[in-house]
Structure 1
Amino acid sequence: MKRSIAAALCVATFGTTACASLNNTERGAGIGAGAGGAIGAVIGRQTGNTARGAIIGAVVGGAAGAVIGRRMDRQAQELETIPNTEVQRVGEGIAVTFESGILFATNSDVIQSAGQSNLRQLAASLQRYPGTEVLIVGHTDADGSDDYNMGLSLRRASAARNYLVGQGISSSVIRVEGRGESEPVADNTTAAGKSRNRRVEVAIFASEEYRQQVLRENGSQ
């Protein structure tokens, strides 16, 4: 059942072409416990979207998934009030994109005052909705070397994580990744495209503990 749920969410979120490219081994990973995580990791690699892959990896589906989804709907509506952010409901989670220019100055991993305000609002939301996990993914444009950009993106993701921890969010529920210039969302040959590529993405999804709680309360799917 989990494989079919993850496959359906894969198609709904990323399209038939990307999901059809899963090989037999990857499809087989969808059978049994941990199916969502395995498929989510594959989706993240193949579509170039680590944050959304993590959300798909936390899929539950069925009645329990509907409960989690309604909760995420409410949280997403609150997050939409944060300035200079893009908030999207993805599967049973939320993808929040911060413009890197709001959080950080050029070539810096020090959070600016406007970025601190945004992260405080995010932390307040996470506190109101416990039972979630967070993946923070840093991205850069294509200027500079691959190694430099990878390091900068990780430092920025880590800085955002540290700020959230300072706001009272447990470090155990936050993971970070730096993707450098490897997951562009726009053309790196234009100034506008580079600006879009310089971003920090936050994936919010139900924790394993909360997923199991909802499954117990709503019946295993």
Structure 2
Amino acid sequence: MLMNLFSIFDPQVIFFYQINWFSTLIILFIIPQIYWILSSRIIYLINKFYSMLWFEFKIILKNNFNNYNLIYLITLFMYIMMNNFMGLFPYIFTSSSHLIFSMTFSLSLWLSLMMFSLSKNMIFMLAHLVPQGTPFMLMFFMVLIEFLSNLIRPLTLCIRLTANMIAGHLLLVLLSSFIPVMFSFYQFILIFQLILLILEVGVSLIQAYVFVILVTLYLKETN
């Protein structure tokens, strides 16, 4: 039962080895290219969404960083959100439910921020290890705690995204497995699955937003 349950997250198939990892790029083939050339309601909706994210991240960063940081953060948000959303469709591999997907972004971003802060602003980074107003007797203990919390940041980033995506998919698979057993109550199971699927759409959006917001806060601390 456990092997069949978790087989939906298996990145291997029978004929081609890990060919379903190409689902991370499937959104590029779904969106018609004419939408990027001609003006339409979809383009208007996407632009409004981009402008909302732009002002949201700009408020957090204020004037500490240039616009290239905002462009990268919006691109990262859209990429993670689209991968989370496409994983809700049947027979599409959910790449964001694997640690290798989220760890690629979290570890690379964390290492780049640490290298930047150590090379450009080491004193400011070390000052963050001791919060303001900490008693002298607790300073050494707080340095250890802050140092450990800084080390586990990439791990918490990737586990938060992966665990939330796995949990929703497992609930959907578990509910679908009860339909043959409780066929007389399949209407109620289908209604509950639809409600859970709507919840998963919100989770796919929220988890991408949380991931990028935390990266933005880590980016702000390095300045």
| TM interval, short-chain normalised | under 0.3
- Calculate the TM-score normalised by the size of structure 2: 0.25
Higher helix share: 2
Higher strand share: 1
- Calculate the TM-score normalised by the size of structure 1: 0.25
Higher relative contact order (CA 8 A, sep 6+): 2
Larger radius of gyration: 2
